[in-house]
Amino acid sequence: MRINDFTILVVDDEIEYQNTMSIILGSKGYRVLTASSGNEAIETIKDNDVDLVITDLKMPGLSGIELVKRTRCLNSDINIIIVTAYGTIESAVEAIKLGADSYFVKSDDPQNLISAVGQLAKIKELSNENRILKENFARQDAFLESKSKAFKKVLDVCDKAAETNINVLLLGESGVGKEVVANYIHVNSSRCNNHFVPVNCQSFSSGLIESELFGHEKGAFTGASGKRIGRFEEAHSGTIFLDEIGDLPLDTQSKLLRTIENRTIERLGSNKRIELDFRIISATNKNIEELISTGDFREDLFYRINTLTLTIPPLRERREDIPGLIDFFVKKIEKEQKKPIKRIDDDVLDKLYNYDYPGNVRELKNLLERLITLSENGIITFDKSDGYLPINFNTHLIKSDGLREARKAFEKEYIEGALKLNKYNISKTANQIKISDRQLWNKISELEIEIVKK
């Protein structure tokens, strides 16, 4: 966390005190907001990411004590310091009981208050770093412990890339684990104490993707009720991962190119430039050069994002990793579902080992989730999943007319099974397979899936 990312809201009905504190705290590098009443403070908290509230105790309207209560309800992570000219032990005790972190009298040396603010900012910074590290390491999946020579070679190059700040482009089929590889580079880089921010460019409409990436100011468009920082600001000093970058609209590509070149962004509704430090890792399962030839992707942007290009092998080319992945996912899923698994039948394991997985690691995980969901008495068998899974894994691909048709056949069977499992509830099914309702409806139409009305 940068010191100017630590936002302080000073609440006092005395304008002179507001100004004085703004100057003192601003000189220390903090971002300072002000409010003249408790009600105004509440609205400011709703519209901004506030880290600390410094509030007077005695104010007309909503008192400092009431403001503490309301702030705690809005966001329990906000620190609160009470400052007042009316210092009584009773008031201090009440404020602390309600959740205030400190209590100061205005006539005291302001340096004590400044020191308290510095301590709270440091604690917040350490807390953020600890949380970020936990989040980043939690993304490291078992398939990084690979026995495959091809995949080990990819990881070796990732180790070298992590020592630099170059932009990396990851290529590979859907489901091979491009996000995990991107996070591996981040965790092993000097940026590991800061955010790894994944963005699926395919998940947002052309009207929303720019707000998602660059943020917006209040009133920038219909529905923008408050300021919102974008993913690039969130990734300051860290790494932003742009998944499915080949799906970015051309006008957004132009803005992205400027952002990479200038290392600045402008929120929607503002012309103020914000300087940022970030690393970009991009990924796609599309042929970018083909998109360039058809005019759907900017060539100059392509050269900016692919200083280093890595192709991640599909699961069928690292078959020696399948047993380890099955073991990892089964343990993870049974813990999540609170459903212990005693045994997987040999015929199930045999087919899981030999299937070609057009959906790669993601498909393997989803198949295991479904098998565990449908298992009885802790035993996984195919006969308990009849109608929900493609049974003949070994010949499934051979009967298909090429990889594209195989993937299409898998998607249809997979979505049909998920729909059936969720009793044809669109929202529940979309949530389970981790796509939007709109994307699911598109797939249903594209794959000609019949919806059974219950």
Residue 366 has pLDDT above 50, yes or no: yes
Task: Return the percent helix, strand and coil in the chain, to nearest 5.
Answer: 50, 15, 35
Last residue of a domain, one of 313, 330, 356: 313
Q: Does residue 345 contact residue 379 with C-beta atoms inside 8 Å?
A: yes
| One domain for residues 208 and 107 | no
Q: Does residue 382 contact residue 404 with C-beta atoms inside 8 Å?
A: no
Q: For residue range 243-252, what is the model confidence (pLDDT) as tens digits? A: 999 999 999 9
Confidence of residue 76 (pLDDT cuts 50, 70, 90): confident
Angstrom CA distances, 368 to 113, 277, 351, 363, 364, stand at 56, 40, 12, 9, 6
- β-bridge partners, 240: 197, 280
- On whether residue 224 sits in a domain, the answer given is yes
| One domain for residues 234 and 221 | yes
Residue 12, Cβ density class (10 Å: 0-12 exposed, 13-18 middle, ≥19 buried): buried
Q: Does residue 300 contact residue 250 with C-beta atoms inside 8 Å?
A: no
| One domain for residues 88 and 116 | yes
- On whether residue 422 sits in a domain, the answer given is yes
Query: What domain count does the chain have?
Result: 3
Residues 6+ apart with CB under 8 A from 80: 52, 53, 54, 55, 68, 71, 72, 99, 100, 101
For the chain, counts of helices (H) and of strands (E): 19, 14
Residue 399 has pLDDT above 50, yes or no: no
Q: Cα angle at 235 between 229 and 239, to 5 degrees?
A: 155
Cα 237 to its chain centre, rounded Å, is 16
Q: Does residue 29 contact residue 54 with C-beta atoms inside 8 Å?
A: no
DSSP state of 201: G
| One domain for residues 56 and 187 | no
E strand or H helix at 322, and its extent? helix 322-337
Cα 187 to its chain centre, rounded Å, is 15
pLDDT score at 387: 59
Residue 305 has pLDDT above 80, yes or no: yes
Q: Cα angle at 403 between 397 and 409, to 5 degrees?
A: 60
Amino acid (one-letter) located at 104: F
Show the domain range for 12: 3-134
**Which two three-digit tokens encode residue 97?**
């009981």
Residues 6+ apart with CB under 8 A from 152: 146
Q: Does residue 201 contact residue 241 with C-beta atoms inside 8 Å?
A: no
**Which two three-digit tokens encode residue 275?**
């300087």
Cα 41 to its chain centre, rounded Å, is 29
CB atoms near residue 27 (< 10 Å): 10
Q: Does residue 140 contact residue 184 with C-beta atoms inside 8 Å?
A: yes
| One domain for residues 320 and 309 | no
Amino acid (one-letter) located at 115: S
Residue 59 has pLDDT above 60, yes or no: yes
Of the chain, the percentage scoring pLDDT greater than 90 comes to 43
Give me the CATH number covering residue 151: 3.40.50.300
| One domain for residues 109 and 12 | yes
pLDDT score at 446: 86
**Which two three-digit tokens encode residue 248?**
């970015």
pLDDT score at 318: 92
Rg (CA), the chain: 27
- What average pLDDT is seen over the chain? 85
| One domain for residues 201 and 329 | no
With CA atoms as reference, report the closest residue to 25 among 133, 116, 149, 100: 116
Residue 142 has pLDDT above 70, yes or no: no
Residue 453 has pLDDT above 70, yes or no: no
Lowest mean pLDDT segment, chosen from 98-102, 188-192, 233-237:
98-102
Q: Does residue 154 contact residue 94 with C-beta atoms inside 8 Å?
A: no
Last residue of a domain, one of 260, 280, 313: 313
The count of C-alpha atoms lying within 13 angstroms of the C-alpha of 256, restricted to the half-sphere facing its C-beta, is: 32
Give me the CATH number covering residue 399: 1.10.8.60
Of the chain, the percentage scoring pLDDT greater than 70 comes to 89
Indicate the pTM of the whole model: 0.63
Give me the CATH number covering residue 112: 3.40.50.2300
- On whether residue 452 sits in a domain, the answer given is no
Last residue of a domain, one of 272, 287, 313: 313
| One domain for residues 320 and 307 | no
| One domain for residues 323 and 309 | no
Average pLDDT of the residues in 362-372: 91
| One domain for residues 63 and 165 | no
pLDDT score at 291: 95
Residue 365 has pLDDT above 60, yes or no: yes
With CA atoms as reference, report the closest residue to 25 among 96, 75, 81: 81
pLDDT score at 394: 47
Confidence of residue 418 (pLDDT cuts 50, 70, 90): confident
Residue 57, Cβ density class (10 Å: 0-12 exposed, 13-18 middle, ≥19 buried): buried
Q: Cα angle at 196 between 191 and 198, to 5 degrees?
A: 150
| One domain for residues 287 and 422 | no
